[in-house]
Copies of this chain bind each other. A is one copy, B any other.
Amino acid sequence: MTNSSDDVTRHAFSKRLPDGDSRERMVCDSCGWIDYVNPKVVVGAVCTFGAKILLCRRAINPRKGFWTLPAGYLEEHETTEDGARREAREEALAEITLDRLLAVYNVPRLSQVQLIYRATLAEPVFGVGEESLEVGLFDWDEIPWDEIAFPTVLWALQNHRSVMGQTDFAPFTNPAGEVGDMLRGMAFKED
């Protein structure tokens, strides 16, 4: 989702305040194009079959080789619900049924808003999508806790467990004081 540094260099943007705007934006020096950058919406799901949870081992960076929920960037003209279903289809070859919104997490450093749904699999039918190395259904005690890709994945798993069987609850947000950058004291490298 990023342009190469070559492209950026050839464009030669500077930070300027467009007419009528209240914030500085990157503006192309040669043609005046304003690069409005919007926060990114990540959609995903904690998806269960019985007591087991669907996880994918990432085939791509950041955090290649680590385990995550089926989740990814919302596309243009797509609803958040359709996006969450598409990501499960792409990464885990799974057709999931959304239940309700579990959480909205913010990772402001990356300008990410993550909408994580609670979902189910009707049958234990899944596969290994292009962006995954491995996909599996895990009992709680089998989850590879030391190889979880992102803090938000850990939060979603824990939050999901805390409301098992409940339907009426406010969606979870970041744990107090957490901004999504660190996991158990481990510094995160974003590629």
List residues of chain A with CB under 8 Å of any chain B CB. 1-3, 6-7, 10-11, 22-23, 31-34, 36-41, 73-82, 90, 100-101, 104, 106, 108-109, 111, 113, 115, 167-171, 173-174
Contacts and interface: CB of A to CB of B under 8 A. Distances in A.
Tell me how many chains of this kind the complex includes. Answer: 2
B78 A3 contact: no
Given A78-B108, A113-B74, A10 B36 contact: no
Nearest to A99: B170
SS class of chain A's interface: helix, strand, loop or mixed? Answer: loop
A171 B168 contact: no
A151 B76 CA distance: 20
Given A11-B31, A33-B7, A170 B101 contact: yes
Contacts of A80: 104, 106, 113
A106 B80 CA distance: 7
